[in-house]
Amino acid sequence: KEDFSYVSRGKFLYRQEHETAAILSQVNETFVAGTSTLVLGPPSSGKSTLLKVIGGRCRKNEQEVLGSLTFSGTEGEKLNLNKVCSFIEQVDIHYPLLTVNQTLNFAFEAAGGKRTLSINGKNNTENEPKPVTGAVSEVVEALGLTNAQNTIAGDEIFRGISGGEKKRLTVGEMLFMRQPVMLCDEITTGLDSTTAFRIVEGICRSAKTMQTTPIVTLLQPSPDLIGLF
């Protein structure tokens, strides 16, 4: 739940030095686990700033958040937000010679090899971790990567999966990082409508199966994309 205002201090064009400007004001919203939230707005309306505030990525010497930000009733200042929130950037970086399955298996094991998943309303405990193959297969299916799971990621030299599949692979890696809140900042930029739909659909599906809380910002999405939320 968020109830805050966001103020930035610094030098602004056509403003006096060190003048303050309010970028977000009187934001009051609740994001529920297992549901996806779409944030819409024109360029420079504060969409990316909202995600930075939630994820604790504000520059403290220049920016200030007024109000309260809580996660399941706990003040955000008392938490390590890097362990609570994951950011999905616009740039996808993968080892080119690893297949989709190998990449996700590595991400799963690097994250500790254990994850509390919620499937059909039943939560796995730390004493009963999801098997590696089962957890990876679940993510592969949720993100629509079944047909590409044995294909290498590839790069400019080695031919591999498509750009849209790389984006879904990035999302899959983030699902294993244990952060319950996923902050997705205009992740469909530069993608065609079909690929963008599949990526957002996978994120929304994973929110229900894995009880994550995706917050997605999009610029001029199609009606079909809006209908997923």
pLDDT at position 160, please? 92
Task: Give the separation between CA 124 and CA 111, rounded to whole angstroms.
Answer: 16
- Give the dihedral of Cα atoms 161, 173, 210, 29; nearest 10 deg: -110
Residue 173's Cβ-count burial label (10 Å; 0-12, 13-18, 19+) is buried
Reading the chain (229 residues) residue by residue, the pLDDT tens digits are 555 555 544 444 444 455 677 777 777 888 888 899 999 888 878 888 888 888 887 766 666 777 788 888 888 888 888 888 888 776 788 999 999 999 998 888 887 765 434 333 344 444 444 445 677 888 888 778 888 989 999 988 999 998 888 888 887 887 777 678 888 888 887 677 887 888 888 888 878 887 888 999 888 888 998 999 8
* 122 Ramachandran zone, left/alpha/beta (phi>0; psi -120 to 50): beta
Task: Give the separation between CA 195 and CA 174, rounded to whole angstroms.
Answer: 19
Phi, psi (degrees; rounded to nearest 5) at 21:
-140, 135
Beta-carbon neighbour count of residue 95 at 10 Å?
A: 11
